[in-house]
Every structure is written in C-alpha cells, then in structure tokens.
C-alpha cells in the first residue's frame, strides 16, 4: 500500500476495533544491558561525552535491536508501533553534543526501520495492517515555565527555536515513511503547539496531510499537566489542529489515569487514546504491575466505552501488550460524540459559552 492507502486503512481500522499501540521502549532497551560501545558504534566512536542512555541513537548504531523491538510488539498484537525518536530533536540531543545532521539521520532512519517492520507484518497478515507512528517527544526546555525561580520571565529557548527543532524532526519522519505523528508525553502545552504548528506548516508547504495523535501527561493526583491545565482545558488548547486522536500517557498507572481519560472521552469529538504506565514505580524505580493486571484495568475502560486506542508506557513489555490486545479483542470502540457548537476557551481551566 502507498501512504494514502495506509492512512485510509488506519482510519477504517479505528472504526472497526480498538487499536493497539506498542509498549515501553526504554524498559526493553534497558534489558539489553548495552555498553557504551553499543551506543557509539563506528560513527560516534570518537564523539565527546557519554553516549550511553541516548536510546534514540540506536537507530543508527544498533538498528538490529530497534527492528527486533518493532517485531516483538507487532507479534504481540500491536497495530501501531512508534519510531525510536522520542528525544530526537536538536534541542534534546544537544545534551549529547549531537548536531542537526545526526538528529535528521536518527529520525529518518528510525522512520525507515518502523516502516519496514510494519510493511513486513502487513504482508504476512494483510487482514491486520500495521502502522508506523512518528514519535515526537517532549523537550528538556519548556516555553510555559520559567527556568529561574527568581525570574518568572526567564526561558532557555524561544518559540521559534522550538518550532524549528520540531519542524526538522517532522520533515525527517515524514520522508522516512511514517503513517501518523504522535506528539507524546506532553508536559508543556506551548511546546506542543510549536510541534503542531511545525506539522501544519509543512502540510501547507510540501507534505501530504497525515493523522496527528496528541498525548498529554497528567503529572500527579492533581489531575493537571505540568503546565497546570486540566484535561478539558488541554483539549481546548489543541483541538484546533483537528487531531486524529487525543489522550494521555505516562506518569500514572491505569487506575489513577482513568478519571482523566473519562473526562476526555466526554468532551473530545475525536478518538480517545491512552497508554498508562505499568502502575507506579516502586522504591527502586521498577514497575511491578503484571501484564494481566494492566490488561484487566484496560479491559474495563474498553467495556465502558471510553477509549479507541490502548497501549502501554513505562514498565510495559510485549507481554503487557499481548494481554491488553487479548482482553479488548471484539469490544466495540468508543463512539465519537457530536458536541454542540460553542465558544470553548482554555487557560488552566476550561471555559464554555454555548
């Protein structure tokens, strides 16, 4: 299938069943116990500083590992697998002293790896096409919050710098062959808006329109993002982009995330997606929630009709995804509601005037 046909197939599949996203990449890469040399490869053998821990660089130095992880998640039942490009922007990769060319290559090659794996599985199982999502993660610098407690106006980056970093990432992911964009683990809505502008501007200039999936993060029991917004206010802030899906991931396990997903399900006139952590981390930073426990929680969400897409974030494995896929198979996806026209504004709280 060409990309246009794949996008049609993705949207059709979302009408027919609850779609399954892959699980954590970090936990699976950590299990490989890779060395500094694995991360460096030949290309970065003499690069300054430590490279270990820069998981995105493995798209270039250990593509075999990345392909294997795509295959593990597709085999477990995932419809969609993410590119290994969560931190592949010039701003985030500056911590590793990597330049714009290296960032381009990570995104482009990461997209090609995901594309190849998805195509291989689609060829084997044409009744269940697989899709590649371009992972666009958060930055280590925020536009909405000060970098200095003594100066509320202090920022380490400008909107234009964030926009340009995301624009390069989006262009490389597109050329590498992704089917949709996943702006994920959003803690700062203004950073997210820069990523959205980058996507929408590139569509106007040169690219085919691809589905956009926006996934925020509720950071704690307050029910707000790190930049202070409630679930509904967050939706009001990004709905202008007419996303294919809206949802939350990371920070919380399924039990604590549910009320926020339920709120999005009530207000969002698009697909609702969620990929929670495998519970909360223990004292050692490990995730103890077992695959059947995660799957049981998400089965209840599906049964109650509040989700269209499910997957896993921190601590989840192919076994978690296999259990989730099995638990929700055959359950009708959430119907997208029609909401009355109204003026809907957002700050930290939503405002609606019908």
The per-residue pLDDT string of the chain (354 residues; one tens digit each, 9 = 90 and over) reads 899 999 999 999 999 999 999 999 999 999 999 999 999 999 999 999 999 999 999 999 999 999 999 999 999 999 999 999 999 999 999 999 999 999 999 999 999 999 999 999 999 999 999 999 999 999 999 999 888 889 988 999 999 999 999 999 999 999 999 999 999 999 999 999 999 999 999 988 877 999 999 999 998 888 999 989 999 999 999 999 999 999 999 999 999 999 999 999 999 999 999 999 999 999 888 899 999 999 999 999 999 999 999 999 999 999 999 999 999 999 999 999 998 888 888 889 898 887
- Contact yes or no for 275/313 (Cβ under 8 A): yes
Neighbours of 33 (CB within 10 A): 7
d(CA 305, CA 334): 5
CA 37 to chain CA centroid, Å, is 28
Q: Which pLDDT score is estimated for 283?
A: 87
Binding residues for Zn(2+): 250, 313-314
CA distances from 288 to 222, 248, 259, 314, 354 (A): 23, 21, 22, 11, 46
- Contact yes or no for 278/292 (Cβ under 8 A): no
Q: Which pLDDT score is estimated for 279?
A: 94
> Bridge partners of 273?
247, 309
d(CA 250, CA 277): 5
Q: Which pLDDT score is estimated for 354?
A: 74
Hey, what CATH topology would domain 3-353 get?
A: TIM Barrel (3.20.20)
Which of 250, 190, 261, 242 has its CA nearest to residue 220?
250
Name the H helices within 45-89.
58-61, 63-76
- Contact yes or no for 107/54 (Cβ under 8 A): no
d(CA 108, CA 14): 26
Binding residues: 250, 313-314
Tell me the three state secondary structure of residue 225: coil
> Bridge partners of 135?
182
Q: Which pLDDT score is estimated for 207?
A: 79
Q: Which pLDDT score is estimated for 5?
A: 96
Backbone φ and ψ of 273, nearest 5°: -130, 150
d(CA 206, CA 191): 23
CA 197 to chain CA centroid, Å, is 17
Q: Which pLDDT score is estimated for 32?
A: 96
Full-model pTM = 0.96
Q: Which pLDDT score is estimated for 343?
A: 87
Backbone φ and ψ of 204, nearest 5°: -65, -30
Q: Which pLDDT score is estimated for 318?
A: 98
Tokens found for residue 85? 């490009």
SS3 content of the chain, % helix, strand, coil (to 5): 45, 15, 40
Torsion of CA 239, 244, 248, 254, to 10 degrees: 140
């Amino acid at each position: 299938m060409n990309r246009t046909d794949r996008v049609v197939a993705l949207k059709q599949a979302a009408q027919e069943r609850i779609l399954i996203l892959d699980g954590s990449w970090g936990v699976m890469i950590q299990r490989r116990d890779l060395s500094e040399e694995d991360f460096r490869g030949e290309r970065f053998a003499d690069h300054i500083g430590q490279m270990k821990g820069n998981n995105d660089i493995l798209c270039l130095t250990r593509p075999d590992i990345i392909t294997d992880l795509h295959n593990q998640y597709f085999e477990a039942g995932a419809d969609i697998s993410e590119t290994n490009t969560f931190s592949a922007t010039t701003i985030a990769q500056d911590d590793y002293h990597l330049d714009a060319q290296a960032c381009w290559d990570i995104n482009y090659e990461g997209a090609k790896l995901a594309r190849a794996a998805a195509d291989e599985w689609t060829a084997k199982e044409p009744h269940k096409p697989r899709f590649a999502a371009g992972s666009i993660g958060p930055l280590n610098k925020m536009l909405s919050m000060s970098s200095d407690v003594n100066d509320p106006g202090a920022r380490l980056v400008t909107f234009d710098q964030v926009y340009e970093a995301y624009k390069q990432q989006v262009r490389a992911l597109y050329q590498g062959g992704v089917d949709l964009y996943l702006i994920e683990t959003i803690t700062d809505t203004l950073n997210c808006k820069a990523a959205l502008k980058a996507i929408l501007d590139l569509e106007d200039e040169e690219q085919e329109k691809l589905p956009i999936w926006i996934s925020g993060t509720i950071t704690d029991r307050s029910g707000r993002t790190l930049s202070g917004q409630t679930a509904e206010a967050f939706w009001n802030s990004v709905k202008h982009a007419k996303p294919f899906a809206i949802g939350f991931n990371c920070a919380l396990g399924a039990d604590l995330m549910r009320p926020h997903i339920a709120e999005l399900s009530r207000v969002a006139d698009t697909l609702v997606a969620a990929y929670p952590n495998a519970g909360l981390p223990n004292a050692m930073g490990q995730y103890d929630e077992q695959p059947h426990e995660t799957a049981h929680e998400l089965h209840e969400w599906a049964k109650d009709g509040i989700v269209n897409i499910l997957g896993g974030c921190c601590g989840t494995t192919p076994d978690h995804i296999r259990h989730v896929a099995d638990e929700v198979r055959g359950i009708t996806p959430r119907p997208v509601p029609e909401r009355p026209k109204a003026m809907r504004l957002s700050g930290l709280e939503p405002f609606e005037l019908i």
